[in-house]
Structure 1
């Protein structure tokens, strides 16, 4: 199926991190506290939130999906709707902010592979279908994401991975997305991987999976992945990293106008300093708004993690657009300004006519996808073009000679990475300076 080009302004939202108890708030669910948090989010002018049930709390036994937990999720969605906020729900948490949340029925004495065991798959599918069905009649329910970066469980560097092949990962994703669709037909159901799917050779979750399975492609952009360290916080590479992932994903998409959701992006300290967070936020949003067919931008995250909670990586405590007591931070102010400006004067971006050719090996498994990561030839060619003021996108080498594919995407110029041997502008310098 081919979708029409997007002509309306993208959606703007935030990943909701509760101020009271972080995602452990489901244990002591306080709807009044949730309402206050949602009020502070709505005041920024945002239109949606992404929320995270904790899988072990909602499904503590393979055949027990707690009705009270589902009721709490529905109450949260209703409270958001009262404030004009739509809600996307992630199911299998899975992994959040360096912590893993696996139910006891797939661990230790009950160890079973979460991607391949038939009983586990039955349980997961029932859980996702149940959550989706509970929300199917809510008009502000956007849809389900299978889970948050669940691909990190499938291989290194996870300390105890659930091994899977690319074929098994693809089969698992299709079954899980189908379960969401069965629960709530026609909503925006998809899956989301951290950037190993795009950058790490041999990783079982592949770019093909992200760009072909589900109703949209989700990308998660974090410059602590080597981008900020290699090129600098104020570099073209850091400012354009989110836009790069959006455009890179299109190389694998079968639909030339498949929507792409920048589902996570944030300003992580110390790679992005507190003094630079607002500038980085504005630069990132400006870059991605120049990407055709962008479904939306969902910032990570709404509120800072309470420092009374222990053992988080330091950067997790300061990623919020608002403080833990709901005061707006400079990055939150900058995002609110960018959202208001985009809605007031929205014009759909023109096609990106210059495409970097991506030779990552077999297009389904992408065995050489590290060429796309920081330091790789595709990454650096894209950033050199962007630094010179071009608006690059990406195309697979397998499709570089397909005239109909290029025409459908508006591509008129191909650039092979070996053609740009020297940058005309150092990648450590942003061409537009401070925004």
Structure 2
């Protein structure tokens, strides 16, 4: 065997043989298709695993197809178990860790391969199916207990099970995860457990990390912005797209567990292989800078031509060519970028300079209602006798749309990155306490009313005084839907109606503001009649007007509060940018608003580097920090550090700068 003990959790990263381990590999789907148990044997896997190891990868993720493993209820197929044993041995022989995926289930395109005997029942709630899954998980745990080649158990690929996405609740997801994790820990306590989720955070879906991560050793994201045009109306290499993995990593990590980027990629049926390699490079390195603990590319190899005429590929042609290699084994450009990631991470002093995880200097708040919808603890009725309250919102809006909130988070995250701010996603609590951070970013709709899913609780604002007393700066963007209690005390303004709707919004600076000078302009996209996309009219009381709109009305204000500040933008800048295709390009000036807020808060970018196209992220450890730079532009960028060192970052490239503490 290649290791002496199973992989375990460290302070932040995984640990293998006593050293930090960031697994880098791919999901292996044989070129004949995802229904591999009926098509190929261990010989093909052995060849592909050898090729993966030769390319410099160190781990592989493989589906355990439920229908093949359990052809009849409660009866595990011994012959197929033997194949899986051989697969584990082959991974060990080639020096790869194996990350098995249980209860597959849906895989590739719209294909569902679950056993026929499931009969349309929901595996996350049907009592008989739950019992059968617990028994299978327990059996697999006993069979491979403590095996050092097994990286971690993956409970399923992209749950909820694909036929039951609309019928699975948060309680179903939480209960299913708890049952299977408990079963595995009882028979195999040595191995880590996760679940390979996709788009759960950005869709507000039941397997989001706020719901299930308490049962897991680490969380996962499958960032596929190409499948979310409502969030990413962009070309592949647009900056919002290339920040997707960093954004989802940071958002999921806010629930409390480290996060692995479990799948990522794009199809060379739709984009050039060179574009995809650049996209991969930006995706993984920016996510690593935000704390990602591992990477599995989707997927190892393309589908072979013989598979084109059968499901799932005959129905989903884009799924044909996600491979790091062509079906013949010829490397695609993205294999080189993936191998470089693996090779570079193995050389970095992760324990000393990154072992404590990412440095966060600002928070973008996540409402309590997003994490725990309709939680009776949030109603404020427990402290004293009250009437029998029920929220009618559940009936008025049974399918609440989380996307306005996610659009705001995403564009705030990208603006922060361009301004040199490392933003995380702290969760709103019930104690009104604000995060202990120097800067808090509250983009609309967090400041609005109507849908409780989208905004902070009314009592949240009570924590502003303590936050300002600690020297904190808070930024708010407003819309015509905003309702901020006691805005005079918080921000030195009064809300005074709805701003005019224009083809575009030009904010003109009229007073010095965080490095901006009178006459500077910030241009935002057009609003609309939708109140969430329309600005607010504000009247300053003791706030200073630092920018005005085209009517000369106050558009940005600055108020000193305690030892800190409140900055207000009267327009929902983040939501306006969300609707703009290919926003955040090199010619866009909107990031300067966040740059000014950063300066007001007294924050300095990593190593003092200032360039909007280069994201600057930091990881820390007991001996110093790692600074990760990613250039989200198609031209080489030259930046200067605070100690006058020049760093060149290639087009769509990256640089990793170790900074060792002098003492």
Give 3-state SS (helix, strand or coil) of 1:323's partner. coil
Change (3 A) 1:385 1:365: same
1:412 paired with 2:438, answer yes
Q: Where do residues 22-61 of structure 1 align in structure 2 (5 Å cutoff)?
A: 22-61=33-72
The residue aligned with 1:356 is: 364
Q: Pick which of 50-59 and 385-394 moved more.
A: 385-394
What is the alpha-carbon distance in structure 1 between the residues aligned to residue 116 and residue 345 of structure 2? 46
| Secondary structure of residue in 2 paired with 1:230 | coil
Q: 1 or 2, which has the higher helix percentage?
A: 1
Which of 236, 239, 242 is the matching residue for 2:242? 239
SS of alignment partner, residue 173 of structure 1: helix
Tell me whether 1:100 sits opposite 2:133 in the alignment: no
**1:1-400 correspondence to structure 2 within 5 Å:** 4-6=11-13, 8=20, 10-19=22-31, 21-98=32-109, 99-107=111-119, 111-153=120-162, 155=164, 163-195=167-199, 197-201=200-204, 203-227=205-229, 229-253=232-256, 258-269=257-268, 272-292=271-291, 294-309=292-307, 310-311=310-311, 312=313, 313-346=316-349, 347-348=353-354, 350-359=358-367, 361-365=369-373, 369-373=402-406, 376-398=407-429
Q: Relative to structure 1, is the Cα distance of residues 208 and 350 closer, same or farther in structure 2, using a 3 angstrom cutoff? A: closer
Q: Relative contact order, CA 8 A, sep 6+: which one is greater?
A: 1
For residue 56 of structure 1, give the secondary structure of its aligned residue in structure 2. helix
Kindly tell me: are residues 125 and 428 of structure 1, through their superposed partners in 2, closer, same or farther at Cα, counting changes over 3 Å? Answer: farther
SS at 1:90 equivalent: strand
Q: Distance in 1 between matches of 2:431 and 2:225?
A: 29
TM-score by length of 2: 0.58
Distance 1:131 1:10 in 2: 25
Q: Deviations over 1:126-168 (max 9, x none)?
A: 1122222222242201221111112153655xxxx6x233212
The structural deviation recorded for 1:79 is 0.4
Instruction: Deviation per CA, 1:46-101: give whole Å up to 9, x if none.
Output: 11111101111110111211011111111001101111101011110011012101
- Distance in 2 of aligned mates of 1:11 and 1:166: 30
Q: Could you report, residue by residue, the CA deviation over 1:348-395 in whole angstroms, capped at 9, with x for unpaired residues?
A: 16512112112262522496643453xx21111111112233222211
Distance 1:372 1:231, change over 3 A: farther
- SS of aligned partner of 1:172: helix
What is the rounded CA distance, in whole Å, between the counterparts of 2:179 and 2:11 in structure 1? 26
Superposed CA offset, 1:198-230 (max 9, x none): 1235x4334312432211111111122225851
Find the structure with the greater CA-based Rg.
2
Distance 1:321 1:400, change over 3 A: farther
Q: How many residues align?
A: 411
**CA distance 1:269–1:361, shift in 2 (3 Å):** farther
Structure 2 residue 453 is the aligned partner of structure 1 residue 427: no
Query: For residues 281 and 167 of structure 1, what CA distance do their matches in structure 2 show?
Result: 35
CA 1:326–1:271 in structure 2 vs 1: closer, same or farther (change >3 Å)?
closer
* CA displacement at 1:289 relative to structure 2: 1.5
Measure how far apart 1:14 and its partner are. 1.1
RMSD: 2.6
Bigger shift: residues 145-154 or 73-82: 145-154
TM-score in terms of structure 1 length: 0.86
Decide which moves more: 333-342 or 35-44. Answer: 333-342
Q: Distance in 2 between matches of 1:142 and 1:35?
A: 18
1:343 Cα deviation from its structure 2 partner: 2.2
Separation of aligned partners in 2, 1:237 and 1:362: 23
Using a 3 Å threshold, how does the CA distance of structure 1 residues 268 and 57 change in structure 2: closer, same or farther?
A: same
Distance 1:180 1:271, change over 3 A: farther
Provide structure 2 residue ranges, at least 5 long, that are not aligned to the other structure: 1-8, 15-19, 375-399, 445-475, 478-571, 587-611, 614-630, 634-650, 653-663
